[in-house]
Amino acid sequence: MGLTKIPTRMRASAIDAFGQRPTVRDLPVPALKPGTVLVRVDHASVNPVDWKVMDGALSTLFPLDFPLISGIDAAGNVAAVAEDAEEFGVGDEVFGLFWGFPFGHGTFAEYALIPDKGTLHRIPPGLSHAHAAAMPTAGLTALAAMDFMGLSRGDSVLIIGATGGVGTMAIQPAAARGYEVLAMARPDARALVRILGAREALDYTNRGIDAEVRESHPDGVQGILDLHTERIADFRKILPLLAPGGIALKGTGEGFERPMEEEGRRFRNLEVNGGTQEMMDRFCGELESGSVHAVVGGRYPLNQVDRALERNRRGGARGKTVIEI
């Protein structure tokens, strides 16, 4: 499929000041830079960083300008490539993590730029663009979690926040590696996490996390991936569920200044650092082997990005929320 004519203007969901509700407007198509690829986006997906950027919570970390287009995950077709770009050709079906190039000129738009040698990858055969767009951030985060844990086959891992975008993605490679996965899930999501590979689906709304875990694992679990708890003080309450020598990763909210260890139990922040091409290649290997797939829990058109962001902000979604451009 060839894309030959590039327009000068595009539809994009953007804001003009922090805290605004995003609206669709007419903006210039990003100009090619050396070493870049211009992608005609047809699907994007929502991550917490999207609304945090729009709230201004990350304004001291990244140079931002307005109008600000959020969105870091996308799938589509290559529309143009810079003269020095070598990896992709016009028409290639691609997906990737459009992180920081430049940040705030994102994927909630008809066109977006990404480095040629970055986290862009061809979409594997048989994978829809919607599901491909749902995967980059969640998939690389899940892969980073498995790397950090370094567990052995047969070890038990508790996933808190198992039904969200990262959680549903993390269950699958954990199960594929032979870990015994305990997934915290509401009753209406227990079937979902079992289908994804969880050995046990624990209902935290019944007796609480501690009682649910202790019933089957009185000596604790070897790993905890917490994708739900915001405050460090609340995260610390979960740490006694770790067996001696175990590791717990905190994936959201307040973070630790450095990795910690107490009484032989290790805990640290889950960090992805924007992902790398090597990690993307590994993740695509998981995709092509059938070890992982995305759970798409909601779809919104471009003019309803505000609703999609609010859904993500509230939590409780099943899988990833996708924007149809």
CATH number of the domain residue 245 falls in: 3.40.50.720
Q: Say if pTM beats, i.e. exceeds, 0.85.
A: yes
pLDDT for res 204: 77
pLDDT for res 128: 94
Other residues' Cβ atoms within 10 Å of the Cβ of residue 126? 9
Q: Are 320 and 134 in contact (CB under 8 A)?
A: yes
CATH number at residue 70: 3.90.180.10
* pLDDT tens per residue, range 198-215: 999 998 777 788 888 999
Q: Please report whether residue 79 resides in a domain.
A: yes
Q: Is residue 274's pLDDT more than 70?
A: no
Q: Distance between CA 224 and CA 241 in Å, rounded?
A: 8
Rounded to a whole number of angstroms, the CA Rg of the chain reads: 20
Pairing type for strands 36-45 and 73-81 reads antiparallel
Which carries the bigger pLDDT value, residue 292 or residue 241?
A: 241
Are 122 and 228 in a shared domain?
Answer: no
Q: Are 322 and 45 in contact (CB under 8 A)?
A: yes
Q: Distance between CA 238 and CA 234 in Å, rounded?
A: 7
Are 130 and 142 in a shared domain?
Answer: no
Distances in Å between the Cα of 161 and the Cα atoms of 3, 23, 107, 229, 306 are 40, 30, 25, 8, 23
Number of domains in the chain: 2
Are 244 and 301 in a shared domain?
Answer: no
Q: Are 151 and 157 in contact (CB under 8 A)?
A: yes
Are 257 and 313 in a shared domain?
Answer: no
pLDDT for res 1: 41
Are 128 and 143 in a shared domain?
Answer: no
Are 147 and 129 in a shared domain?
Answer: no
Domain boundary among 226, 254, 269: 269
Are 142 and 130 in a shared domain?
Answer: no
Q: Is residue 113's pLDDT more than 80?
A: yes
Length of the chain measured in residues:
325
Please compute the mean of the pLDDT values over residues 123-134 and round it to a whole number.
93
Q: Is residue 259's pLDDT more than 80?
A: yes
Are 85 and 63 in a shared domain?
Answer: yes
Q: Is residue 2's pLDDT more than 70?
A: no
Q: Distance between CA 58 and CA 179 in Å, rounded?
A: 35
Q: Please report whether residue 1 resides in a domain.
A: no
Range of the domain at 52: 9-135+294-324
Please compute the mean of the pLDDT values over residues 70-90 and round it to a whole number.
94
Candidate from 34-48, 94-108, 152-166, 291-305 with smallest mean pLDDT = 94-108
Are 145 and 264 in a shared domain?
Answer: yes
| pLDDT band per the 50, 70, 90 thresholds, residue 172 | very high
Q: Please report whether residue 318 resides in a domain.
A: yes
pLDDT for res 292: 85
- The kind and range of the H/E element at 10 are strand 9-15
pLDDT for res 218: 94
Pull the structure tokens for residue 113. 């730029």
Ordered DSSP codes for 289-304: HTS----EEEEEEGGG
